[in-house]
A = this chain, B = another copy of it.
């Protein structure tokens, strides 16, 4: 094998083949000794490898900690015209900031903002764009710490009076977790916060990135002071949806219109420049959104990671509940049946065990694994018995949003009592509950 990449950067994940036939894999660190390559292994240890003993370096992934590089050309563009509104653009990784790697046939990150904005020059027509890139990650590798960091970056931007709105580009896989987290971590939102993505990398003719970015700019300049997820509404390249960040979900592995509103409508349909002729680029589908205002955003980016999400299945052993309790978890979100049932009868009944762990201090919340629709513990006896055992029902909330909300709520010391936690979990903090469900499938 030949070297597949000439020069890895610090932060890249690399595999090093040595002349003794051994291989080492880890994150490349900066080394002050030019003859030594410094590697952080997965077990946490660092090792130094003599460069002369290295046969081959293969970049596995270049994402961790690698700030996107802003080239001079891009910086020139970024000299603000002073005539256009300013959008702060936070690049965090994912397909939208990647391109096809002709060497492997797979996909790799764009490592340079230059590449990014060369690919999408039209975004500069509407606004002066400023770039930040706190990290470059695929979304499956993000966790609450990354959500908190993005929230912090967004707060900074929103507090800047010159900034009209924020766009965050992000991997698709778990984007709806991040958008749900931001919907809780950014209190008293005063300006639009838009998350966007692409399903195909930018260098493919069929990429959905261009429309998603242009529509994101439309929403970032709009009067909707909400955390939104903007992306294709249909399979065609015609218009996007501005979805409510905590009531949407990736519902398809690869389609452009993978993100769907669940148990609510999208805020709006959005077209790119002139796509809707002279009718304006935004058609609102709802009126119940928070308007742009002069208030100050309140960052509240805490999270208690000792929360778990369980999807119940028939015959499942309730001992899994003990596992989480013994591991020190403080809360569990259980995806029950649509109305909110688990095994409630016979020797495998979950009810005695739920009662026991709740008594011992665990918070247990029910969410619907049907995704669409609303729990209702009052229709059947078993729902009533689960409630008596202390399970709290979360209506029509998405499992993903329920999980994120529980971690966020338990991150607050003041809400940690069982009454306070349940009260906060049932409170409609950021539109995560929809009191009036309608045609949920038809969005």
Q: A314-B177, A319-B327 are in contact. Are A338 and B258 (CB under 8 A)?
A: yes
Q: Is A72 interfacial (CB-CB < 8 Å)? A: no
Q: From residue A436, how far is it (CB to closest CB) to chain B in Å?
A: 14
The residue that A142 contacts in the complex, of B140, B311, B314, B380, with Cβ under 8 A, is: B314
Contact between chains at A311 and B314 (CB < 8 Å): no
- Tell me the count of chain A residues lying within 8 A, CB to CB, of chain B: 84
1/0 per residue, CB under 8 A from B, across A322-338: the answer is: 01000100000001011
1/0 per residue, CB under 8 A from B, across A115-159: the answer is: 000000000000000000000011111111000000000000000
Q: Is A13 interfacial (CB-CB < 8 Å)? A: yes
Of A140, A143, A371, A376, most B-chain CB atoms within 10 Å: A140
Q: A250-B338, A258-B338 are in contact. Are A61 and B382 (CB under 8 A)?
A: yes
Contact between chains at A64 and B346 (CB < 8 Å): yes
Contact between chains at A348 and B143 (CB < 8 Å): yes
Q: Is A173 interfacial (CB-CB < 8 Å)? A: yes
Q: Which residue of B lies closest to A177 (CB)?
A: B314
Chain B residues near A277: list those with CB within 8 A: none
Q: Is A297 interfacial (CB-CB < 8 Å)? A: no
Q: Is A415 interfacial (CB-CB < 8 Å)? A: no
**How far, in angstroms, from A29 to B285 measured CA to CA in the complex?**
58
1/0 per residue, CB under 8 A from B, across A201-224: the answer is: 000000000000000000000000
Q: Is A403 interfacial (CB-CB < 8 Å)? A: yes
Contact between chains at A345 and B254 (CB < 8 Å): no
Contact between chains at A253 and B345 (CB < 8 Å): no
Contact between chains at B370 and A253 (CB < 8 Å): yes
Q: Is A344 interfacial (CB-CB < 8 Å)? A: yes
Contact between chains at A341 and B251 (CB < 8 Å): no
The residue that A339 contacts in the complex, of B104, B108, B253, B316, with Cβ under 8 A, is: B253
The residue that A382 contacts in the complex, of B104, B140, B399, with Cβ under 8 A, is: B140
Chain B residues near A343: list those with CB within 8 A: 140-141
A–B Cβ pairs within 8 angstroms, 30 of them: A13-B345, A61-B345, A61-B381, A63-B345, A64-B346, A104-B381, A106-B380, A106-B381, A137-B345, A140-B337, A140-B341, A141-B344, A143-B314, A143-B348, A144-B315, A173-B337, A250-B337, A251-B372, A252-B370, A252-B373, A253-B339, A253-B370, A254-B338, A254-B373, A258-B338, A305-B315, A309-B313, A310-B311, A311-B335, A320-B323
- Interface set of A (CB-CB < 8 Å, partner B): 13, 27, 42-44, 60-61, 63-64, 104-108, 137-144, 172-174, 177, 235, 250-255, 257-258, 260, 305, 308-311, 313-316, 319-320, 323, 327, 335, 337-339, 341-349, 352, 368, 370-376, 378-382, 384-385, 399-400, 403, 439-441
The 9 closest A-B pairs by CB, nearest first: A253-B373, A253-B338, A143-B315, A173-B337, A311-B311, A252-B372, A252-B373, A140-B341, A141-B345
